[in-house]
Amino acid sequence: MTKLEKIVLSYSGGLDTSIILKWLQETYGCEVVTFTADLGQGEELEPARAKAEMSGVNDIRIVDLREEFVSDFVFPMLRANALYEGQYLLGSSIARPLIAKHLVGIAREVGAHAVAHGATGKGNDQVRFELAVNALDPSIKIIAPWRQWNIRSRMQLLEYAEKHHIPVPSDKRGEAPFSIDANLLHTSTEGKILENPAEVAPDHVYQRTVDPVDAPDTPEIITIGFERGDPVSVNGKSMTPAALLTELNGLGGRHGIGRLDLVENRFIGMKSRGIYETPGGTILLTAHRGIESITLDRAAAHLKDEIMPRYAELIYNGFWFAPEREMLQALIDQSQTFVSGEVTLRLYKESASVISRTSACSLYSADLVTFEESAIAYDHHDAEGFIRLNGLRLRSWAARNGR
């Protein structure tokens, strides 16, 4: 094993990363710096400091990344209306490159040559962390304890904790917990009973959205303001990116918006079933499509829709910092120059629907589309020729087929 002087560990303070911390100290006999990111997971982070201190960590980094997460990662992705496999808003996928970026930044700052993460050997997250680190600093070594140590089961993990005097919370003593990943964009839940896609997910899986059946019987009307493709206000009140998403999470959660029960294809090769809750993100996707509907040219909008699955797949597979993602981003960003205005939505029992939209940069022309007499020069005979020429090849084809 190469001698390492310092390792920066992505550390949540939970049981798994506490064990990883101890294992790194023992295995490499070197200083471990912990990095804990506040991504709006809704967890107290100070306990992580206390736990790291107890494990003898001298350099403890707890960083509030909420604004950076939303403005530099979530919003650029929303400009693309990105969905993986048509449904998943990529809440976990988009957080990994940000965490990796800061792991690399801290490693450089403290002169560490390695970073470590607690992602398991079967998931997408290990791929995302490591591809991001590769792209940002190829000289940094990556340690993935779950792929390296001999611990193969939950039981062995608890035994290791016991042996090393790592406190195991009583609720972690029984069977394995759900695998939960939360941040300002979403909560994802996998594992346990959910591993059987034939089983209906129990109610207690849902953490930040009410059951639509219990959502208010009166709809709530909200207005979201956009500037150049990004949401900037709710009901006329300007907000920072993180504050805006937090506000919409509250509204969406109350109305049971943004639940998803999905079987998806992991990059690594297997199918997995998860429950996602993305209340604010779901509202924003609908609102963004609403403002784009009046501000984007048809061909521009369709081109965006064509590249979207590719762009979403790049993010899902961990290629955020790859050149092709940046190229697609440039295209998407350029399309947003005139995507400004306001969208009004109705939130009601699991749905967020656009009910009106306005923009100073609108391409919509009532004069052009109206059924009434119009002042704008539009010659109906043009439509006749347009259809005749488009129909030319269909008439040839049908005649040949003997229809």
Residues that bind ligand ARG (CB under 6 A): 92-93, 124-125, 179, 181, 188, 190, 272, 274
The residue annotated as part of the active site, out of 38, 49, 137, 179, is: 179
How far is CA 114 from each of CA 108, 141, 402, rounded to the nearest angstrom? Answer: 10, 4, 71
Nearer to ligand ARG, 55 or 93 (CB): 93
Q: Residue with structure tokens 């403290």? A: 110
| SS3 call for 139 | coil
Nearer to ligand ARG, 96 or 113 (CB): 96
The residue annotated as part of the active site, out of 12, 16, 92, 188, is: 16
Query: Is there a catalytic annotation at residue 125?
Result: yes
Nearest distance from C-beta of residue 179 to ligand ARG, angstroms: 4
Nearer to ligand ARG, 112 or 144 (CB): 144
Nearest distance from C-beta of residue 129 to ligand ARG, angstroms: 11
208 in Cβ contact with 187 (< 8 Å): yes
79 in Cβ contact with 332 (< 8 Å): yes
First to last CA, the chain: 75
Enter the DSSP assignment of 30. S
Nearest distance from C-beta of residue 93 to ligand ARG, angstroms: 4
Query: Is there a catalytic annotation at residue 137?
Result: no
Helices (H) and strands (E) in the chain, counts: 14, 14
Nearer to ligand ARG, 179 or 351 (CB): 179
Neighbours of 116 (CB within 10 A): 28
The residue annotated as part of the active site, out of 96, 208, 259, 357, is: 96
Nearest distance from C-beta of residue 262 to ligand ARG, angstroms: 8
Query: Is there a catalytic annotation at residue 403?
Result: no
Nearest distance from C-beta of residue 266 to ligand ARG, angstroms: 6
Q: Residue with structure tokens 């506000």? A: 247
Nearer to ligand ARG, 59 or 261 (CB): 261
H or E, element range at 380: helix 380-400
Neighbours of 322 (CB within 10 A): 16
Question: Across-strand partners of 354?
Answer: 345
Active site amino acids: 16, 96, 125, 179
